[in-house]
Structure 1
């Protein structure tokens, strides 16, 4: 918060605001006007001192530092580029994980409510979109769950809707690690212990939303990413550990079967589904929190919001790490925010032909397609474009120009059918129902030198380097 204030990228909303739609409308408006992050200090029906931070990792209001909120969340300078952020996360994937360390207590234990006193009354539970199926208390928090045998602990993000002050429900989607852990408990006929964490390390949502491989625990990777172990404390009523510096922790159990109506909710695709679904229900057994806690909230919708920044960047970093581990000469990966992360752009080294002699561009794209199919992020991919690394795919103007001029209308299309996330808006109802659909990987690589290769006509590429430097030094528009 202090770093955002220094950047002029947070604004206090001190007037009384209604959590029923008004707060969500202000946050949505802040995305679409690239305004500072709104910090709500007075909300109707919410206990005094409880605050809400909207748009915590959206695009910055400073056009010179568009990814400042993302960068600061990850402990990086506000000025870094998208490519540098992706590289930072991907590099951390190559390091050993750093397990969390238990401490005796922490700020999240400043207030403790257990049993009958454990209620969400007085906490912000906003109706975020017109058409949502209910009030959503979790849009940026982390769900902690552990397998019954204690061998794997998952930290993940999934939306959670309030039924009443003691009961919640939320998406437990097949294919996600949360669902796999829940199924193990359900097969034993026992409700799953959970903890829902709001706040904590600002990098936590980026890691909790990252499609890490099976067996990799988010807590350990967060330690590798930040360079220090996460300090955790033991919950009050369940055998789980949570970040000691969290703002709010809700504890309880998740039912063994889908017994509650959940949704719909405005989604990252930019649309509100027509129907909800049956999902398991969470009971609230304990609530612990800081004095005057800050509850972060995201209002998903048409790009750009946190799903597109945080999830898109984490997705790109995981794919980059995976492709490099497969021995492919990949320079960077980017999921364009403006595509609602339905697109992915992969750039390969300008020397890929020397690194892989005798390989055609089509064969390289086939190798990339095969490697992507073994990545856990594969379910999120719809269209993947493979380009030369003279393109910066995080520059949307440059990316669109490259696709328009290098993507052939009919050739170089490599398509296979695979698992999909049903929420992806480009698929038909039948494909969404079956959770399976086509995925395209497109060869947008330039021809070999001497075979009609295009030469870029731009300031960076069309003039001698010394002349570029002189023009930059002497000419100010």
Structure 2
């Protein structure tokens, strides 16, 4: 199978699965597009490709739900798997393992190229305007039209010794000005602070479209010493082509559909938000954030702008953040030589909990260690996780439970987690966007986090009363052989 290397090849792969639908009906840029995309999430419909958007340039298109759960029968993660270069049939643990395994490989540096299709059309200075691009209002009550929900923001340190590719929401102020979240623990906040301390605006490039794996890597909480271009190369097994921007000293993925260039202000000088977010609620608060000033826009002919409409699960925030967070935690736990089977962030939990399963023979692998100590060691590893502020609840389970099976996970959490004890509680930084905290904790950015010990006891373990666990293998086989009859 040839993996899709840009958004157009990816759409062709989705079309082969019957998982994309062209919307030729004329539509405005009010709430209709956002509402249509939300309904696609909630009905598991094909990804909508809007081709007739009022007020945009001829041929300009917008793709919704680019990496949500798929409508293809029996292939719920087809969009995610195809994005990462895997078979459309890949399952959840195969995807997490692929991301975690790439962390152990040597990075493959990006490859610089002279030009790319995203250079076909160049707008500079006053001409660099969003007026002809599709930037609809996504939710009722949003502070403005959000132009970045799935694009990658490229920045670098003032010295140029490191670059960062990340995803953060960015809101339109007018045709040439934007504002967006610049929050820790994202590296974009670290880069911006370095520029602000020098009193210099930070150069940026905002990439829409491109290699379908790009948003996953841009959203992955990689350690400080791992750069996204090199990791993306390691994941895909080949270097990523990058091309020089027009007006700032940055290199961007050559597979891009649209590249927006400019500088970010030194001060937090704009009101950003609110926006309907991944927790599934529509907050009413705004924050002060820096201003992005657009100085150049380059784009392909008939460009495609991918858009995510966040809300109640499951959308791209839950698939992308859930999978990449689980993969990074799994990689860290394996580096610590802990006998873990997998990690999983259930999409339906809106990125508010993580499950770690340990091998059933973990006691043999760790002589003298009880479940409380193993849970403490897992919590200690999480303390060193760059994005541990985004993980308020962790549940440690035996590997007889498949955490990606929602019914099995619900049963296991209800029957194996003690109502009060058997847990490690820590206090520290928390992401203010997490809905489970009080208003005071969200404003302070600090609160409690817990790791639950849900491991079965060594003695007196009760057998699972299910077809797969309580009947002998020969009896199970007899039932399967005679099932149709």
* Band of TM-score, shorter chain: over 0.9
Q: Return the match for 1:187 from 185, 197, 202.
A: 197
Counterpart for residue 355 of structure 2 = 345
Instruction: Find the partner of 1:286 among 296, 302, 314.
Output: 296
Q: Contact (CA 8 Å) 2:185, 2:386: kept in 1 or not?
A: no
Distance across 1 between alignment mates of 2:460 and 2:192: 56
1:470 Cα deviation after fit: 5.0
Alpha-carbon contact 1:319-1:377 (below 8 Å) kept? no
8 Å contact kept, 2:272–2:287: yes
Structure 1 residues 413 and 126, CA gap change in structure 2 (3 angstroms): same
TM-score, scaled to structure 1? 0.98
Matches of 1:33 and 1:416, distance apart in 2: 38
Matches of 1:50 and 1:474, distance apart in 2 = 57
Aligned partners of 1:240 and 1:464: how far apart in 2? 62
Query: After the TM superposition, which parts of structure 1 deviate over 4 Å for at least 4 consecutive aligned residues?
Result: none
Query: Secondary structure of the equivalent of 1:275?
Result: coil
Shift of residue 469 of structure 1?
Answer: 4.3
CA displacement 1:24-48 (0-9 Å, x = unmatched): 0000000011111111101111112
Structure 1 distance, partners of 2:330, 2:32, is 39
Cα distance in 1, alignment partners of residues 210 and 64 from structure 2: 16
> Which residue of the partner structure matches residue 458 of structure 1?
466
One of 81, 85, 94 as aligned partner of 1:84: 94
Query: Does 1:130 pair with 2:132?
Result: no
Compared CA separation, residues 356 and 48, structure 1 to 2 (3 A): same
TM-score by length of 2: 0.96
CA–CA distance in structure 2, aligned partners of residues 290 and 212 of structure 1 = 30
CA distance in 2, matches of 1:191, 1:345: 41
1:303 aligns with 2:280: no
Unmatched segments (≥5 aa) in structure 2? 1-10
Residues in 2 aligned to 1:470 and 1:201: alpha-carbon distance in whole angstroms: 48
CA distance in 2, matches of 1:476, 1:349: 35
2 CA distance for matches of 1:469 and 1:61?
32
1:363-374, aligned counterparts within 5 Å? Answer: 363-374=373-384
User: How far 1:111 moved relative to its partner?
Assistant: 1.0
Instruction: Report the number of matched residues.
Output: 475
- In the alignment, which residue of structure 2 is the partner of 1:12? 22
Q: Secondary structure at the match of 1:246?
A: coil
SS at 2:258 equivalent: strand
Question: After superposition, where does 1:66-215 map in structure 2 within 5 Å?
Answer: 66-215=76-225
Deviation of 1:410 (Å): 1.8
Cα distance between partner residues in 1 of 2:86 and 2:118? 25
The residue aligned with 1:404 is 414
- Counterpart for residue 56 of structure 2: 46
2:257 to 244, 247, 250: 247
Q: CA offsets per residue over residues 149-179 of structure 1, 9 Å max, x none?
A: 0111000000111111111111111332001
* Deviation at residue 17 of structure 1 after TM alignment: 1.2
3-state SS of 2:14 partner: helix
What is the correspondence of 1:373-388 to structure 2 with a 5 Å cutoff?
373-388=383-398
Residues 1:322 and 2:332 aligned together: yes
Task: Compute the displacement of 1:133 (Å).
Answer: 0.2
After superposition, what is the alpha-carbon deviation per residue over 1:299-332, rounded to whole angstroms, capped at 9, x for unaligned? 0001110000011100000000011111111110
CA contact (8 A) 1:98 1:220 kept: yes
Aligned match for 1:475, one of 468, 473, 483 = 483
Give the secondary structure class of the aligned counterpart of 1:193: strand
1:318-373 C-alpha deviation (Å, 9 max, x unpaired):
00001111111111000011110101000001111000001111111011111111
Which residue does 2:344 correspond to in 1? 334
Q: Distance in 2 between matches of 1:108 and 1:460?
A: 53
Q: Give the corresponding residue for 1:261.
A: 271
Q: Which runs of 5+ in 1 are unaligned?
A: none
Shift in Å at residue 466 of structure 1? 4.5
Native 8 Å contact 1:134 1:263 kept in 2: yes
1:467 to partner: Cα distance? 4.3
Look up the SS of the partner of 1:376 in the other structure. Answer: coil
Residue 415 and residue 68 in structure 1: after superposition, are their counterparts in 2 closer, same or farther (change >3 A)? Answer: same
Q: Distance in 2 between matches of 1:35 and 1:109?
A: 33
